[in-house]
Amino acid sequence: MKSAAGGKEINLENLLGKTVLVIGGGGREHAIVDALSRSPQVAKIYCAPGNAGIGEQAFNVPLKDTDVEGLKAFALENKVDLTVVGPEASLAAGVVDAFRAAGLAIFGHTQAATAIESSKEFAKRLMAKYGVPTAAYQSFSDYEEALAYVAARPFPAVLKYDGLAAGKGVVIAQDLDEARKALADMLLDKSFGEGRVVVEDFLTGPEFSFLCFVDGERVYPMPLSQDHKRAYDGDKGPNTGGMGAYTGLPFITEEDREFAFREILCKTASAMAAEGLPLSGVLYGGLIKTPDGIKVIEFNARFGDPETEVVLPLLQSDIYDIFEGVATGHPVEEPLWSGDVTLGVVLASKGYPGHYEKGFDIGGLDNVDAKLYHMGTGVRDGRFFTAGGRVLMVVASGGDVLQAREKVYREIAKIDCENLYYRKDIAHIALK
């Protein structure tokens, strides 16, 4: 939009606000788009590829999240002020490097820094070198050597394929037989491709997620959250992408949080900077509270899903300022967070994470008095239908976990769809 004023051309779009592109198309990106839509500075949001629910708050762009050249061309053509990356696949494809080379501001890590997530061995080596607490480990490319190491350590043994294996590259072997099978699969049959295997000690205790915005050595913590990875109540059944999450973890003391922040998140950010791989996006610590203290299970180089959907609704600061500050290397004001807690439950297609059918109508959404983040929906004739394994996440807030939980389940009951299931026990650890 252009207009003439005093003989000068003024770009009204710039005056009216910023244009943002969000890369990705799941519940995590819906929560990011939702947070951006609360920013008074943001005038226009694109999401590539987005999804049916995101389409209510942003313009969906039919580009794959790994189509680096297509995304860059789109951002240049549409005068995007800032791009925010959701998925690790986009980071690993080098989207940040390509955007920066074209002079575009982007929130996310370089391809090289994404190794903190994409290579387990890189992450373990970094932690060992800088004294970040994690399970003892060794890494192998040779099957016989790996087996000999496993045989000499206590069981269970944790075997991790070194690479992005979509969460399927971790095997907890209870005995030597199971370890032999898994190692043969990874190192002899190369089921996940060419790669090494990290073998590490098994840790026990409750797991939790500590996400921070990181710009080099500046680390801005977000509220702690806990995911629920198993499909069914009581943490039974197969692993999924995550069936629910909440904030306000009662089993983590302020002292624990402070330790994790300083000795894990800040130390790792400094370590990455010292290695010449400064971070410029989200550092996600997948942590565990063991009897010997808090340790790292894994790092991710991005927002968690479904953690983002419970964390970002608590943000009271303008998220555009945070994204822009980190993307351009400028300090930002310490983000402010609501003192409430949130709890979110994922509605998944029956059969997920195995085979499931799609295309079922979802009714009643207009009556839901809670946040609704779409993970896998489509829309036809103005009605949403199921279009993925994880379909929707319903998120409510409250003064405590019990309040938030009661509200979420009350609101979910208003949703009418014959092919959805969900866990009834999200935050069970908090309510024991």
- Name the closest residue to ligand AMP (Cβ): 298
How many amino acids of this chain bind ligand AMP (CB under 6 A)? 12
Length reported for the chain: 432
Q: Taking Cα atoms as reference points, which of 398, 406, 425, 401 lies closest to residue 251?
A: 401
The span of 190-198, 262-270, 300-308, 389-397 binding ligand GLY (CB under 6 A) equals 300-308
Could you say which of 307, 309, 324, 411 contacts ligand GLY (CB under 6 A)?
307
Residue 280, beta-bridge partner list: 215
Type and span of the H or E element at 200: strand 197-201
Asked if 60 contacts 33 with a C-beta cutoff of 8 angstroms, the reply is no
For ligand AMP, which is the closer residue by CB, 46 or 161?
161
Could you say which of 68, 197, 271, 297 contacts ligand AMP (CB under 6 A)?
297
Q: Taking Cα atoms as reference points, which of 276, 288, 282, 313 lies closest to residue 36?
A: 313
Task: Give, as one character, the DSSP assignment of residue 216.
Answer: T
**Cα 358 from chain centre:** 24
Fill in the amino acid letter for 413: A
Residues 114-173 that bind ligand AMP (CB under 6 A): 135, 158, 160, 167, 170
> With binding defined as CB under 6 A, does residue 298 bind ligand AMP?
yes
Q: Shortest gap between Cβ of 282 and ligand GLY (angstroms)? A: 10
The span of 37-45, 97-105, 201-209, 259-267 binding ligand AMP (CB under 6 A) equals 201-209
Q: What is the DSSP string of 245-306?
A: EEE--TTS-HHHHHHIIIIIIIHHHHHHHHTT---EEEEEEEEEEETTEEEEEEEESS--TT
> With binding defined as CB under 6 A, does residue 305 bind ligand GLY?
yes
> With binding defined as CB under 6 A, does residue 307 bind ligand AMP?
no
Could you say which of 227, 309, 318, 411 contacts ligand GLY (CB under 6 A)?
227
> With binding defined as CB under 6 A, does residue 286 bind ligand AMP?
yes
Could you say which of 86, 221, 242, 353 contacts ligand GLY (CB under 6 A)?
242
The span of 5-13, 200-208, 376-384, 390-398 binding ligand AMP (CB under 6 A) equals 200-208
Query: Taking CA 263 as the corner, what is the angle to CA 258 and CA 269, rounded to the nearest 5 degrees?
Result: 110
> With binding defined as CB under 6 A, does residue 65 bind ligand AMP?
no
Residue 385, beta-bridge partner list: 361, 378
Q: Shortest gap between Cβ of 363 and ligand GLY (angstroms)? A: 29
| The entry of ligand GLY, ligand AMP, none that residue 319 binds, CB within 5 to 8 Å by partner kind | none
Write the CA distances from 345 to 190, 255, 394, 414, 422, integer angstroms.
Answer: 36, 29, 5, 14, 7
For ligand GLY, which is the closer residue by CB, 209 or 419?
209
Residues forming contacts to ligand AMP in the complex (CB under 6 A) are 135, 158, 160, 167, 170, 200, 202-203, 207, 286, 297-298
